[in-house]
């Protein structure tokens, strides 16, 4: 199987199975999406969605969140991972948005990654989801599935992002991020991938390798019995 055949098969399946897809984070503005994505680092979207309604009700904008203290923010987000550093980052990025960007979330990779707590993955989510750019964010799910399936072999998220960007058409990149992420979240899990209910198993390099290994073991066992 060629790499192009693998991409065509995987993307074709996802496009048919999930024609309309987006983030599972709840938000009401570009700023709120940015806050939710920052909170989601090493934390589940489900947990973030439990926290953000009250947080956004109290601090709906960068101007409001800038005026909050870290202790104020911690009252709302104590159950997320690394709450202290995230509270500090949210307060600092809110201040930078107000002071340097006129209260608007910046729209370029360079500007977004200047914000405290915003790395390349968060910036790519904002570019794709908030601004409709052809960006691919590589989180732990996208990184794992891309390597496992054989779409992109890489030791770092940037290497995987570069490979995915090379092979996925611009108009499909934003959706592809969500397709691969959701597949990793619900099917191709880290510890127990559900290969029996996987729609892309016929194009999966890991499954093919696993099956070949199992077949060789069976053949060895049969040969020793003769």
pLDDT in tens, 119-129: 999 999 999 99
- Whether 72 is a known active-site residue: answer no
d(CA 90, CA 39): 9
Examine the residue annotation and report whether 175 is marked as an active-site residue of this protein: no
Q: Which of 4, 72, 86, 139 is catalytic?
A: 139
The pLDDT assigned to 223 comes to: 65
Predicted confidence at residue 72, as pLDDT, reads 95
44-103 tens-digit pLDDT = 999 999 999 999 999 999 999 999 999 999 999 989 999 999 999 999 999 999 999 999
Q: What mean pLDDT do residues 178-197 have? A: 93
CATH superfamily of 30-130: Hypothetical protein; domain 2 (1.10.340.30)
Catalytic position from the list 86, 121, 175, 207: 121
pLDDT in tens, 140-157: 999 999 999 999 989 999
- Report d(CA 197, CA 176) in Å as an integer: 19
Task: Please say whether the beta carbons of 153 and 195 come within 8 A.
Answer: no
Which residues have a Cβ under 8 Å from the Cβ of 114 and sit 6 or more positions away? Answer: 96, 106
Statement: the pTM of the whole predicted model exceeds 0.95: no
């Amino acid at each position: 199987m060629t790499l192009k055949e693998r991409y065509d098969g995987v993307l074709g399946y996802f496009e048919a199975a999930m024609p309309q897809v987006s983030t599972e984070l709840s938000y009401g503005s570009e700023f709120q999406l940015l806050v939710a994505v920052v909170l989601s680092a090493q934390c589940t979207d489900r947990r973030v969605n439990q926290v953000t309604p009250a947080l956004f009700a109290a601090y709906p904008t960068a101007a409001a969140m800038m005026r909050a203290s870290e202790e104020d923010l911690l009252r709302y987000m104590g159950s997320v991972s690394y709450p202290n550093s995230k509270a500090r980052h949210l307060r600092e990025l809110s201040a930078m948005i107000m002071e340097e960007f006129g209260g608007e979330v910046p729209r370029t990779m360079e500007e977004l990654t200047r914000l405290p707590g915003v790395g390349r993955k968060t910036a790519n989510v904002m570019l794709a989801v908030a601004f409709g750019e052809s960006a691919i964010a590589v989180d732990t799910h996208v990184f794992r599935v891309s390597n496992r399936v054989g779409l992109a072999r890489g030791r770092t998220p940037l290497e995987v992002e570069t490979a995915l960007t090379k092979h996925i058409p611009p108009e499909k990149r934003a959706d592809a991020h969500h397709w691969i992420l959701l597949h990793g979240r619900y099917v191709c899990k880290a510890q127990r991938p559900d290969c029996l209910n996987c729609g892309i198993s016929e194009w999966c390099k890991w499954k093919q390798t696993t099956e070949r290994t199992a077949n060789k073991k069976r053949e060895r066992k049969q040969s020793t019995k003769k």
